[in-house]
A and B are shown apart, each in its own frame.
Chain A
């Protein structure tokens, strides 16, 4: 199909990324494993959406499925429109053409995500050369420009450095430079600060926030760290067992979580002031994706469970303008407990 014949699903002209009923199944031996189920969202340029959840909740798989960067056993269903392009129907060549130029990705562990036997300058230049058909010297000039953009000190000298010769923070800066080298409009960041020291984490977060504003990119940020999510994102989608369980503006979700899982997540996060408050871990463990409960996946761990929870998977219903939650009791009085004080680093905001 041609790229131009699509009108954004919600009719909103500002929507850059539109995802409808996205699902991912892994064909393992025996039963297929459903990792993602019915994910819907829209994203505008300049906006940051955060996927928040525990390991195995499907955050990373959701993000990777947007550019089909999944193992060959994965079957992706649903629709992904990126700037009017139906991404999931693209052939390999067209998909390659948008990877790096329209959508780029930053990985968690920059040591292993960069090729150890090529200089960082070469790796950045290579992407530019491949996509823009320019000469290697132009590619190298762009690499230098990018390293300066991500504030790598003595960038010219670092062009010829190998990844192992750089510190973790510098490596992640290089990773960001690599991802941004062809000016993508959507940046996918997969736990980009998790592998870094706390002090370096903040620097990288600030850099990402700054670049995202400067370049006006849409950003999807995957993290399990509530503090990081607070700092970087405008909106949040809390994920549990392959589904969005709560979505909304970051600040609103933190201030008044509607889904019991979000409440549990907030209560089990160590943050400023928690020496006074109580740390309350969520009992139990996430469900086995091969053996899901018939109703709400969170029901077995939920303290507010009612009979309706076990009947069928609750719908994601709008509970306030721009806020949704997947819980039959969101309307009940008392469920919208005042959340804990917003966690996070004391970073300057605006």
Chain B
């Protein structure tokens, strides 16, 4: 087991390193000189040199990268060029908001995806299965920001049932108003993962139920609820892997949804950072989100052997 953890970790580290290199390169890949914003107009060559040196641009690129990485690891992601405050101070509250919304969306998509998937898998080729499969395809295919706009138009603007924008004003504790603000963006965010999870749960359940051991369970007279447990445990490793990826997408892909609903999370932050060319914020946010995505899948990998004992042996 320890060997398995170490081997998984050995896969994760190079990926994280790659992520950091991509984030760092943003600075150099983005069109335009990053120093234009801070450079005084008509600066003399000497001043330019001095500014370059103060920002560390005089050093070779690999050294710049290592310095940047070292700073990032110690929590120093630099200064936001727009807000002129540490990037970390921008990211942390945004992260909290994003996770709050994501947790809500994840809850919805797990509940909906697993529930619908099981129902479809157990009623294969019947009306319920067909209805669920079709809905899932629509859910996956329709752009979610567009659904968000439609939801706002109907439920918020026309019917006035739910707030259209933003987060509830800060108040002590977590109340009904917080939830009301999360419903529309939460549903929008959950749409695609729900469809994908439902489809993979359905396919996996159908696949598992065809296996011979299910007949052994029936031949031994086990009640349906026990057979169901066997099916669920056999289906869980596959489904968990897909859920892991979907959750990562859900957090990372919230940029459009958060923009549509003006939700002050990382997606919103990213959107603004792109608009204002605030590269340190962009770098920091992407680094944090990508690390989250990688770590999430690492955790999924770690959980797999507990569900399927065959995984540790290779």
Contacts and interface: CB of A to CB of B under 8 A. Distances in A.
Interface of A: 67, 69, 95-101, 104-105, 107, 109, 112-118, 126-127, 130-131, 162, 164, 175, 178-179, 182
Contact of B230 (A67, A95, A104, A115): A115
- Closest 3 pairs between A and B when the two form their complex, measured CB to CB: A99-B221, A100-B221, A100-B220
A112 B216 CA distance: 9
A112 B223 CA distance: 20
Contacts of B234: 115-117
Given A116-B308, A164-B310, A131 B215 contact: no
Contacts of A112: 211-213
Contacts of A99: 218-221
B222 A114 contact: no
Contacts of A107: 212, 215-216, 219
A114 B213 contact: yes
B7 interface: no
Contacts of A127: 220-222
Given A115-B230, A116-B234, A178 B220 contact: yes
Nearest to B215: A69
Contacts, number: 78
The CB with the most chain A CB atoms within 10 A, among B211, B216, B234, B313, is that of B216
B22 interface: no
Contacts of B59: none
Contacts of B218: 69, 99
B96 interface: no
A231 B212 CA distance: 27
A105 B222 CA distance: 13
23 contacts: A69-B219, A99-B219, A100-B220, A105-B216, A107-B216, A107-B219, A112-B213, A113-B213, A114-B216, A115-B217, A115-B230, A116-B213, A116-B309, A117-B233, A117-B234, A117-B307, A118-B230, A127-B220, A130-B221, A131-B221, A164-B310, A179-B219, A182-B220
B85 interface: no
Nearest to A103: B219
A67 B215 CA distance: 12
Contacts of B217: 115
Given A97-B221, A99-B220, A109 B212 contact: yes
B230 A162 contact: no
Nearest to A96: B221
B226 interface: yes
Nearest to A128: B220
Given A162-B310, A175-B216, 19 more contacts: A100-B221, A104-B220, A107-B212, A107-B215, A113-B213, A113-B216, A114-B213, A116-B213, A117-B230, A117-B233, A117-B307, A126-B222, A126-B226, A130-B226, A131-B221, A164-B310, A164-B313, A178-B216, A179-B219
Contacts of A98: 221
Nearest to A175: B216
Interface of B: 211-213, 215-223, 226, 230, 233-234, 307-310, 313
State the majority secondary structure of interface residues on B.
Answer: helix
A116 B219 contact: no
Contact of A100 (B219, B233, B307, B309): B219
A97 B218 CA distance: 11
Contact of B223 (A130, A175, A178): A130
Contacts of A117: 230, 233-234, 307-310
B309 to A, nearest CB: 5
A183 to B, nearest CB: 13
A130 B226 CA distance: 9
Contacts of B222: 96, 100, 126-127, 130
A101 B221 contact: yes
A113 B212 contact: yes
A107 B214 CA distance: 12
Contacts of B313: 164
B213 to A, nearest CB: 4
Contacts of A105: 216, 219-220
A131 B219 CA distance: 13
A178 B308 CA distance: 21
A118 B230 CA distance: 8
Contacts of B223: 96, 130
A101 B219 CA distance: 10
B205 to A, nearest CB: 14
A107 B234 CA distance: 20
Contacts of A104: 219-220
A131 B221 CA distance: 8
A110 B311 CA distance: 20
Contacts of B215: 69, 107, 113
Contacts of B221: 95-101, 127, 130-131
Nearest to B234: A117
Contacts of B211: 112
Contacts of A178: 216, 220
Contact of B310 (A101, A116, A179): A116
A270 B292 CA distance: 64
A105 B309 CA distance: 26
Contacts of B216: 105, 107, 113-115, 175, 178
Nearest to B310: A164
A99 B223 CA distance: 11
A139 B212 CA distance: 23
A105 B233 CA distance: 23
A8 B37 CA distance: 98
A127 B307 CA distance: 21
A266 B114 CA distance: 55
B213 A115 contact: yes
Nearest to A114: B213
Nearest to A112: B212
A27 to B, nearest CB: 14
